[in-house]
Structure 1
Amino acid sequence: MEIKHQRRVFSGGISPSLVKTLRAFGLVMVTFAVLAYGEMASAQSYRFSTVEIEGNQRVEAGTILSYAGIERGQTVSAAELNDAYQKILASGLFESVTIEPRGNRLFISVVEYPTINRIAFEGNRRLKDEDLEGFVQSRVRQVFSPTQAERDAATLTEAYAQNGRLSARVSPKVIRRSDNRVDLVFEIFEGGKIEVQRISFVGNKAFSDRRLRRVIDSKQAGLLRALIERDTFVEDRIEFDRQVLTDFYQSRGYVDFRVTGTNAELARERDAYFVTFNIQEGQQFTFGEITTISDLPEVDPDVYQAVLKVRPGMVYSPTRVENAISRMERLAIKEGVDFLRVEPRISRNDRDLTLDVEFALVRGPRVFVERIDIEGNTTTVDQVIRRQFDVVEGDPFNPRQIREAAERIRALRYFSDVEVDAREGSRPDQVVVDVNVEETTTGSLSFGGSYSTNSGLGISVGFSERNFMGRGQELTAQVAAAENNANYNISFVEPAFLGRDVAFGLDFALIESDSDFSLFNTTTGIFRPSLTFPVSENGRLSLYYDASYDEMTDYRGFSSVLRSEVAQKGLWSSGIGYEYTYDTRRGGLDPNSGVLLSFGQEFAGLGGDTEFIKTNARIIAQTMVLNEEVTLRATLEGGALDFQKGTSRAVDRFSSQVMRGFEPNGMGPIEGTEHLGGDFYAVAKFEAEFPLGLPEEYGISGGAFYDVGSIWGLDTRNATGLIRSKGFKPRHVVGVSMFWASPFGPLRLNWSTALEKEPGDIEQTFDLTVRTEF
C-alpha cells in the first residue's frame, strides 16, 4: 500500500500552532477589557443639579420624574439611569425615550404616543361596524397603545372564528394626522366560512347517527347552506353538544354514558371540518324498588310516597328523581314542615340493570334567606325577577328552590346571561342570594311571507315586545294579508296579574275574508279579555269574556239558506267561556311521549243578538318508536253548536277544513252545490313521520296519514227540503306527506285520496303550506 504525505501551507507561511496561540491570547485580552469596562461603568456615578424634560405635551414633567424616580441633587449610578429609562418607557405613554447626562444636568427627551382621532374597520361585510366596536377596547380621544391595538385585533379575529370564519385575519394600521393624532384602522380579511361537512359518532348502538345529529346543536352543511348558520364550525358549540348528548342519554336510562373524546379534523383544502364524537353508551337502567323513609317523627313517609309518580320498571332518569324530590318538598311546605330535605339514596343492581331509590326525609340545616340581591337589570324591574322565586326574605333556605328559580329566570328570555349564587349572610344561619343578570333585546319587528293552497300568497308585518316597559308584560301587534283575507290583531298579556300566578290577557282582532271557497264575504271583530291560571302540575284553566261582531255580505250564490243569513247583516254576540288545557308534552315523565288535551265551552247570551252554547274538544297523543326514528301521532277532535236564540249562520257553524283530503267548505250539509257548514263535527287523524334515507342535513322526511271524520247537522229552523244533511256520515282519507325543515320555514306537502266520500263533497288531492319570517 502506498501512502502519500500531503503538506498544508497557510498564507504568510504561519504554522497552524502559532495561529491557535494568537487566537487564545486575543480572547484573553478581550475578556480583560470587558471586565474592566464593566467595573468602570458600574462604578461611574452622577449628581444632577438640573433635570430638563422636553417633548412632553400632555404628560406633566412631574409625572415623568415620578416614573424615573430621580430627584435633583441625588447621586445615581449608570445602572440606575438605565432603570429610570426602562420605567419611563414601561409607563406606556411614550413612543420613545432618551436619557442623556450632560455634566450636572440631565436631559430627558420623550416622544408621546398620539391620541386616537378615529377608529375604523375596512374589509368587513359579514359583521357590521357597530358589532365590531363592541369587541374593541381602544377608544377615540384616548392615548394610542400598540399593544392594546394588537390585543383588539386578536379579539376581532376570535370573534370571526366564533362565527365560523377561522381563516379571518385582522391587522391594525395607523394613519398619522396633525396635532399628534392618529386614525386607527383595522384591516379585515374575513375569509370564507369553514363548514361542518360531516358529523359522525363512534360507539353508539342504541341510537343511530341520524337520531343523535337531531339532538346536538351543530348541524351538517345542508342544501341551502348559505342561508343556514348552524353548519359552521364553532368550538364552543361542540363543547355544548357534549353536554347535550350526556343529558339525552341519561334521560333515557344510560347512567354510565360518557363522551370519551371529540375529534374535529380540518380537511386538506381547509374548507370544511369533519367532527367525530367518540361515545360510550353503557347499559340502560330502569327503576327498581322505590321506597321512602323518614328520620323525622312528625313526618309520615307513606304520605310522601303517595305523591310519587315514578314506578318500578320505568326507564331511569335523573330528571324523574329531581321531579320526585320537588313534589315531596312542595308537600312539606304545604304541610308546614320546615327545613325538610329529601336525600335520594341509589343502589345499583348490575345483574338486572335496575336502580333502587330510597328517598330519605331528613332535617336540613336551619338556614334562612336573609335577602335577595339583584344586579345588572337596567330595564327590567326587580319585581319581575323576584316573582320567579318561591321564597322571600325570612323563609327557610332550600338550594333546590334557588336552582329552580334560576331556570325560570333564564326561561323568561329577557337576559343573555343569568347567574344565581348563594353566600353566607350576616350570620352563619343566614344566606344572601345574589342574582346577576345581563339584559338582552326583547323586542322584534318581523316581516313575513306565507303560502298555502287554500289562502294563496300572503305577507305579514308584526311587532312584538316580550318585556314591555320592563314589567314582564307582552305586547304584540300584527297585520297579515293574503290574496283573499286580512287579519289585524293586537294582544296584551300581564303574566302576574295582581301579583298572582294569573295571566291577564286582552285581545283585539279584525278579520276580513273574501275566500274562493265561499260565495260571500265576511267581516269579524273580536274583543276578548281573559284570565289564565294553573290548576295542576300540567293543567291550566282559562276564563274569558267574548264580544264579537260577524257580518256576511256580497252573496254570489243561489242557496236560500245562505241568502237569508246574509240578509241579516251584522250580528253581535256576547258571552263567557272557559278552556281547560292539560299538556305533558314537555313536562311529562316520558321524554318520547306526550299528551295534549283541551276542552272548552262558550256560553253566549249576555246581551247581543244570539244565544248559544259552543263546545270544542281535542286530544293529541304522540310517541316515538323504533329507537326514536319514527314519530306516531293520533288526534281526536270534535265540536258542537247549540242555538237557543236566533239561528246559526255559516260564520257560526263548523265549515273550515277539519280533515285533509277535502277543500274548506268542501263537505257537510249542502244545498244544491253550496256547502252550508254543520252544527257538529268529529274527526280522528292518525299519522306517522319517518326518515326517507336522505342525508338528514337536507331536512327532508316522509309521512303517511289516515283521517276519518265528518261535518253534519243543521238547525231545523233553517232547513228546507232541498238541504241534504243525513247525520254523521264518515269520510275516509289516506295520504302521504313530505316534510322539509327549510330555511324558509317548515314546509309540508300532502298528497291524498278519499276512500269514502258523500255526493257533493269536493276533494283536494294536494295541498302545500309554508310560512317564514325574515
Structure 2
Amino acid sequence: MKKRTTGGSTLNARKRGKRSGLTQVSALALSGLLLVSNGALDGLAEAQSYQFSSIDVQGNQRVDASTIASYAGIGRGETISAAQLNDAYQGIAGSGLFQSVELIPRGNTLVIQVEEFPTINVIAFEGNRRINDENLDEIIDSRSRRVYSPAQAEADAAMIAEAYRQGGRVAATVSPKIIPRSDNRVDLVFEIQEGRVSEIERLSFVGNRNFSDRRLRRVLETKQAGLFRTFVTRDTLVEDRLEFDKQLLRDFYNNRGFIDMQVLSTSAEIDRNRRGFILTFNVAEGQQFRIGNVSVSSEVAGVDIDAFRRAARLRSGRTYSPVPVDTDIARMEKLATRMGLDFIRVEPRVTRNDRDLTLDIEYVISRGPRIFIERIDIEGNTTTLDRVVRRQFDSVEGDPFNPREIRAGADRIRALGFFRDTEVEAIAGSRSDLVVVDVNVEEAPTGSLGFGASYGTNTGLGFNLSFSERNFLGRGQALSASLGLTNSSQVFSFNFVEPAFLGRDVAFGLSAFYRTTEQDYAYYNTDLGGFEPSFTFPLADYSRFGLRFTYDYGKVYDVNEDSSYILVTEEEMGGLSSFSAGYSFFYDTLNDGPDPRGGILLRFRQDFGGREDGASFVRTEALVRAKRLVFNEDVTLRAELEGGAVMFSGGNSRIIERYQLSNKIRGFEPNGVGPRDLNVENEDVLGGNYFAVARFEADFPIGLPEEYGIKGGLFWDIGSVWDLNDINGGPTGNDPVDDGFHLRSAAGVSVFWESPLGPLRLNFSQPLIMEDYDQEQNFEFTVATTF
C-alpha cells in the first residue's frame, strides 16, 4: 500500500521565503492521509496478507527510525493483513510528528517514507494590545524548539480567542500563520484582531411580574454599561458569567417562595446602533408559596421527638425559603449528636398544596448509612494554611459522614472570601464504608488598600488611608490599620482578630487607637488613646457574646480662657487613665438571616471601670437596627434606635467621657448639640451622661437609568443628650448649666452614587427642632474606595 502527498505548495512557499498559512499545511497533511496511488490500491486489493523481513525508514531527520517502526507496530517476519497495514499507517500519522506518511511494500521490505513537521523557531504575537505577549505565552501550549503541530496551533488560537471573549471581546479573531525558515524550521505567528469590547447596553427581563427589571439587575453579576464604562469590567458579555447569573436568579426567587421559577432562555442581540448587546433573560416566575404545617416524625426508635420539635423554629404562614429549613435541619442534627445518636439524618419531606399555595414541611428523623470520613484532602491553597480550611468543617477524620455538614462546610469556606473558586466533593475511600472529602481551592487576593474622602461645612475636607488583610500570613487572621486626617483631628486605629483562638470557636481581638483633636468648632483640644483585648464566642444562631478589657487614656488641654468653668476644671485634672471590664451581646440577621428581605441587629454592651483619680463608672449602651425591602424590594427602609448612659461615682465625668449628639444625629455641626454653659462667651457644648436617638431612612430609585448608579433617599433623626454630674458651682457657686432634656430633630434628603471611586453619599439636612444656641450643618458628603 502506498499513500502519497504532493509537496509542491510547501516547496514553492519555501523558495519564495514568504509566510505560508496554516491552512496550506493542514491541507497537505490531509492530502497525505487521503491520496492513495492506484498501483498500491490495486496491490492491496489483490493481496490479503504481507510478510516483511525488513523495514526501511526514509526521510526522517530528528525522529529515530526505530521510534517510527515502533509506531507502526509491525514485527519482522510477522504475517499481517491489509487492515493491519492500514493500522500501522494510522499509528505513525497519529503521532503528530509528520506532515506526510507513505507505506510502500517492496517485496519483503516495507518502506516507510515520512516528511517531518518542522521545528518551531520562535513564537510571535501580532495585533495584541489588550493582552501582552507574556500573558498570551502563558495561555498557549506551543513552544519554541518543539515540533510544530497544526492541530495544536489551532487549539492555541482558540484559547487566545477565549481569553479575549472572557474580557468581553467576543468578536476577536486569531489566525495562526507560519513563516518557513532554513533547516526545516518555522516561525509561528498568531495574528490577532482584538475587536471592540462587546458591552451590554441594556439588561432586560421577560416574564417577571413580581419584581421589576431594576430589582433583578441588582441580583446579577453582569451589569449594564453606564457613564463610566471605561472603569467597569462587569458590563461586558461573558458567556460563563451568564450561567452564574442564571443560578443567582434562581436562588433569588427560591429564597422568596417561588419554587417553580425557571430561566427559560437568555438571548444577546446587537442593538440597532451596533454599539453593544441587548441581553434578555426570559423567566417564568411561577407562584409564591408559604409555609403550611410544620411537623417532626421519627423512623428511629427511642428518639425524644418533643426535643426535636422544640428545635424546629420554622413557623406556618411565613414565605417559604430553603434557608430556615436548612437551619432547622442543622440544629436538629447537632441536637442528635449531643444526645449521642450517630448517623442520624434529618430530611425535609415537602408536601405541595397547589390549592392554597402552601408547602407542608415534615422533618423526618432517620438513620443514615454507616459511613465514616477517612480523611480530608485540601489542594490548591498555596498561601492559606490547611487548618484554616479544615476548621470550617464540623466533622473530622473518623467522624460519621454527614453530607449536609460537608455542604455547610463548603459554604463556610466560600464565605471566608479567601478563594476565587472552591470545589468540595466526597469520593470513595479505601473501603466501602469510608469516604474522602476532597477540597480544591484557588487562592484570591485578600489584602486591600483604601482611600477615602469626606467633607463637612464645618470640618472641611478630610482624608482617610486604610490597609486591611483578611488572611494574614495565611492563618485566617484579620489585620487592619487606618489613618484619618481632617482640619481638626488626626485618628489612628489598629485591629487584629484571630477567629479561632487556641483552635476553638472563640475569636480573640486586639484593637488600639489614638486620636488628637485641634478643633475649630470648640474652644479646647483633646488627646485620647487606648487598647482593648476581647473574646467573643457564639451563643446560638445569629448571636454572639463577648468579653473585653479596656485601657483608656485621655486629657483636655488648651481650654480657652472664656470657656466654661467645667472645662477649665477638667483641664486642671490633666491626663488620666482608666481601666474597665465589660461584656457584649450581639444578635444579627441583617445580611445573612433567614429572611432575605430584611433583618434586625441587636447590640447591648456594659462596662464597669475606674479612673486613676478614684472615680468609678458604669457605662451601658444599646442599639437596635432594622432593615426591610418593600415595594417589590425596590425601596429599602431602615430604622435605628440607640441609647446610652454613663454613671460616675466618686468623681465627675469629663467631656471626653460624655456623649456628643452631633455624631448621632444629622443636620448639626460637631459639638453643636447638647448641654451648654450659657454663662460664658463661648457657650461651650459640654456633652451629656445620657443620650437617646432614633434614626429613620429610606432609599429608592429616582427614575435615572440604573447604569448611572444614582439613588435618592430621605431621612429623619430625632434625639437628645442630657445630664451633667455638676451643673452648679463655678467661681461664684451660682452659675447653672443648661443640661435638660431638649429634643433635637432634623430631616433631609440624600443622594447615593456608586461612583468609580467608591460609594458616595451626599446629605442635605435641615434641623426641625433645635435650641437657639445649636449650630447646624446643612451639607456633608463621604466617599471611599478600596483597591
TM-score > 0.5, shorter chain as reference: yes
CA distance in 2, matches of 1:435, 1:83: 41
1:443–1:465 contact (8 Å) kept in structure 2 = yes
Counterpart CA distance in 1 for 2:571 and 2:182 is: 81
Could you say if the C-alpha distance between residues 52 and 182 of structure 1 is closer, same or farther in structure 2, counting changes exceeding 3 Å? closer
Given candidates 204, 209, 221, the residue that maps to 1:205 is: 209
2:675·2:688 contact (CA, 8 Å) conserved in 1?
Answer: yes
Residue number in structure 2 paired with 1:525: 529
d(CA) in 1 for partners of 2:650, 2:131: 63
Matches within 5 A, 1:105-504: 110-111=115-116, 113-115=118-120, 117=122, 119-174=123-178, 184-428=188-432, 430-453=433-456, 455-504=459-508
Deviation per CA, 1:221-276: give whole Å up to 9, x if none: 22222222222222222222222222222222222222222222222454311122
Inter-partner Cα distance in structure 2 for 1:336 and 1:665: 59
1:565 is matched with which residue: 564, 570, 573?
570
SS at match of 2:151: helix
1:758 positional shift: 0.8
Equivalent of 1:759 in 741, 747, 772: 772
Q: Deviations over 1:586-645 (max 9, x none)?
A: 343322121111111232328688643322211111212222222221111122222335
CA shift for structure 1 position 180: 6.7
CA distance in 2, matches of 1:329, 1:298: 16
Kindly name which structure, 1 or 2, has the bigger radius of gyration based on alpha carbons.
1
Stretches of structure 2 that go unaligned for 5 or more consecutive residues are 1-36
SS in 2 for 1:582: strand
Alpha-carbon distance change, 129 to 435 in structure 1, aligned in 2, over 3 angstroms: farther
Aligned to 1:673: 683
Please say if residues 727 and 739 of structure 2, whose CA atoms lie closer than 8 Å, have aligned partners that are also in contact: no
Structure 1 residue 75: Cα displacement: 10
> Deviations along 1:411-443, whole A, 9 cap, x unmatched?
122222222222343443x23132222231344
Deviation at 1:101, TM superposition (A): 9.7
Cα 1:36/1:573, change in 2 over 3 Å: closer
Whole-angstrom distance in 1 between the partners of 2:598 and 2:57? 84
Gap change, CA 1:190 and 1:40, over 3 Å in 2: closer
8 Å Cα contact 1:452-1:770 kept in structure 2: no
Range 545-554 or range 196-205, more displaced = 545-554
Shift of 1:344: 2.2
Alpha-carbon distance in structure 1 between the residues aligned to 2:243 and 2:54: 65
Provide the residue aligned with 1:12 in structure 2. none
Q: What is the Cα deviation at residue 568 of structure 1? A: 4.2
Judge conservation of contact 2:720–2:743 (CA < 8 Å) in 1: yes
- Which of residues 528, 532, 538 is equivalent to 1:534? 538
Q: How does 1:83-94 map to 2 (within 5 A)?
A: 88-94=92-98
The structure-2 alpha-carbon separation of the partners of 1:298 and 1:187, relative to structure 1 and needing over 3 Å to count, comes to same
1:699 and 2:702 are equivalent in the alignment: no
Aligned to 1:661: 667
User: Which residue in 2 is equivalent to 1:11?
Assistant: none
CA contact (8 A) 2:581 2:609 kept: yes
Change (3 A) 1:596 1:608: farther
* 709, 712, 725: which one aligns with 1:715: 725
Cα distance, 1:123–1:514 mapped onto 2, change above 3 Å: farther
* RMSD of aligned residue pairs (Cα, Å): 3.3
Give the alignment partner of residue 508 of structure 1, picking from 507, 512, 536: 512
Alpha-carbon distance in structure 2 between the residues aligned to 1:97 and 1:455: 83
Q: What is the match of residue 583 of structure 2? A: 578
Residue 626 of structure 2 is aligned to residue 621 of structure 1: yes
Aligned-partner Cα distance in 2 for 1:603–1:231:
53
Alpha-carbon distance, 1:667 to partner: 0.7
TM-score, normalization: structure 2?
0.85
Aligned-partner Cα distance in 2 for 1:306–1:75:
81
Amino acid at match of 1:149: A
Q: Deviations over 1:368-393 (max 9, x none)?
A: 33332333333333222221111223
**Unmatched segments (≥5 aa) in structure 1:** 1-33
User: Please, which of 729, 734, 758 is the counterpart of residue 747 of structure 2?
Assistant: 734
- When the two structures are aligned, how many residues end up with a matched partner? 738
Structure 2 CA distance for partners of 1:101 and 1:689, relative to 1, 3 Å? same
Tell me by how many angstroms 1:495 deviates: 0.9
Q: 3-state SS of the aligned residue for 2:663?
A: coil
Tell me whether 322-331 or 562-571 shows the greater mean CA deviation: 562-571
Tell me the distance in 2 between the aligned counterparts of 1:380 and 1:465: 13
Which residue of structure 2 aligns with residue 56 of structure 1? 61
Letter in 1 for 2:618: I
1:434/1:266 CA distance change after superposition, 3 Å: same
* Aligned equivalent of 1:550: 554
Shift in Å, 1:504: 1.0
Distance 1:727 1:208, change over 3 A: same
Tell me the distance in 1 between the aligned counterparts of 2:504 and 2:39.
89
Q: TM-score, normalised by structure 1?
A: 0.86
* Counterpart secondary structure, 1:642: strand
Q: 1:283 to 1:571 in 2, by over 3 A?
A: same
In structure 1, C-alpha distance between the alignment counterparts of 2:371 and 2:84, rounded to whole Å: 60
* Aligned-residue identity in percent: 51
Contact persistence 1:445–1:461 (CA under 8 A): no
1:442–1:467: 8 Å Cα contact kept in structure 2? no
